[in-house]
Chain A
Amino acid sequence: MSLSIFLAYISSYSLIPALLIGGIMYKKDVFSESLKIVYLCICFVLLMEIPEWVFYYQHKKNHFLVNIHIFFEFFILAYAYYHFAKVKIQKTIIALFMLVEACLLPTFNFSSWDNFNHFNSIANSVASLLMIAILFMYFYNLLQTLETKNILKEPWFWISAGALFYYSGVLFVFIFSDDILFSQSKSFTILWNIYYSFLFVFRIFLAIGLWLSKTQNLLNSSSKSVLQ
């Protein structure tokens, strides 16, 4: 088994802890509305990963599925932050970011199946940049409001930290994805492993964040927002 496939497996399996913990916490009804949206995002990602692997085993290109996966993952996560924000200006900015990403839909080349089934570096790179901006807004407001006693027990801090590692880590891989995915050189295609590694980190942080949702509720009984 090559390193790429091993990392792809590991990053896919790392979704299981987040899914299980999320399921337990959802059943215990400790999630705020925004965390429910994050859990919805995890369920969506799982639904997308199954056909991605099926395509892989059938030796078919699954780039269009990865495009849809990254596109909607950005949308659902951005919507969770939109839901989390209370001040209108920040909701407007996040909504605008979502609109910008939606406007990039035409960059998916619909002219032929081969073109459509091609990794969309423009939309995915812009999604990474916009998410980094949303996460900066979150961290700025976290420091302004100081609502949680222990930041390490704040679920959104872990989720945002994981998302920041992932989206900033994969930015350059997405920008040069055309060169990386279609290169003949093996040492060059190995760069795609960066994507799997950061995906793994993000999913582990997601699982930690969802696990801490119970702790957060014990510290702050009321549902609070830091995006103020």
Chain B
Amino acid sequence: MVEQDSEFIKLIVEVGTTIMFLFSLSIVTLVYYFYGRLLKQKYS
């Protein structure tokens, strides 16, 4: 039972960390992309 719990927590941490990392990576990429576009719009 304890081992099952450990495996479940391990899965949550691994999946959660992967999701959060991908989320932060997409935020940074989107900020970079939109910053370029908005800057182009502003000064074109």
Contacts and interface: CB of A to CB of B under 8 A. Distances in A.
Interface size band for A: 20 to 34
A188 interface: yes
Contacts of B9: 176, 179-180, 188
Contact of B39 (A136, A146, A171, A188): A146
A161 B20 CA distance: 13
Contacts of A171: 16-17, 20
Interface string A168-201: 1111110110011001010110010010000000
B24 A191 contact: no
Interface in B1-44: 3, 6, 9-10, 12-14, 16-17, 20-21, 23-25, 27-28, 31-32, 34-36, 38-39, 42
Contacts, number: 67
A108 interface: no
A165 B32 contact: no
Contacts of B28: 161, 164-165
Given A146-B42, A168-B21, A171-B16, A179 B32 contact: no
Contacts of B27: 136, 139, 164
B20 to A, nearest CB: 4
A173 B13 contact: yes
19 contacts: A139-B31, A142-B35, A143-B31, A143-B35, A146-B42, A149-B39, A152-B32, A161-B28, A164-B24, A165-B24, A169-B20, A171-B17, A172-B16, A175-B16, A183-B6, A188-B6, A188-B10, A191-B13, A194-B13
